[in-house]
Chains A and B, each alone.
Chain A
């Protein structure tokens, strides 16, 4: 397997130009609108609104302004699939459509997906959704086709400020840590890395430098694997089955006489 590859996104240098969104749509031939419907957010410059089956990149505009408007800031963040090392979508996919590639990225094979949508419910980041054109679940592939041909993903290639950086995970982590240290030295002590270590789902192959709490950016503070509920959920269900069985035994307890061999009385439904 090639060395794990991914994205490091430094949100402090994102200018919200959306070049990444455009490059992604162009390269992956994603429609600009959903079946001709162009839904505007109405209260923000962010009209992409969310990641889904036709928006694999989404520049979030987080506007932090008080009522007085005397102070404030824009937080801008180009969001994308996290290509988790422990991927919830891959774990639950019942068709085997979701695979891990030789670059340690996570890809949905559109020719195999049957649109059961279990992966949408499983993704802790709300990244995946249906593509109405293909009728399958879709998300960022980290430009798997470009990677296979030695090219950089379209979004990071187009990013004019290097907010989105592409490379090997080990190299990106070192670079990101240097940037955090630099920001701390300049007084921006809120800077930290989200998902850069193994504690979060084994590590996110697309991780972020943030300067506010994760939830401010619409990121879950504690993303978890769906399988955390598999054993307890199954045990409780078996317990429920036992209770139902006991209720049945108790209810039929005084009629334990054996069944006859005949077809029974001539009553028919």
Chain B
């Protein structure tokens, strides 16, 4: 059935139609939630909350954008709220990665340790969490979820130019965070 018809029926309280929409979008929303939280249970819970929010907000949806874009906008805002509420508990210092806080350690040893693939991946995600929220969001949407500039502009209600400049700033910020930990000159960054 056409998506618009499903949305119309859901707006009239048809749970079956809403169930079809949920089945269509649940994995995408869950993956987005997981990208932000890196925790399966939390991502699952957040995804359920997003669909509850969407169900009760349906009457406000006027088809000014695609249903998917609107759904993503609600999801991103919900995840941003979650990130704000849990900012302190989620914050992990990059310097503390795999290191006893009281033990002095020279840069060389630290760099050597994170040659390990898993550690480097962890380092990247911790660095991603440590950059400002709006940069985290845009990198997640573009580099993890693979949305196009136009889709991101629709979800975040930004111009394509702003998406471009913010994305560039976000990548630059992330690169500067991880650069000291990656291997030197012509480094071999294979995972």
- The reply to whether chain A is a binding partner of chain B is no
Q: Which residue numbers of B lie inside 8 Å of A, CB to CB? A: none
Q: Which residue numbers of A lie inside 8 Å of B, CB to CB? A: none
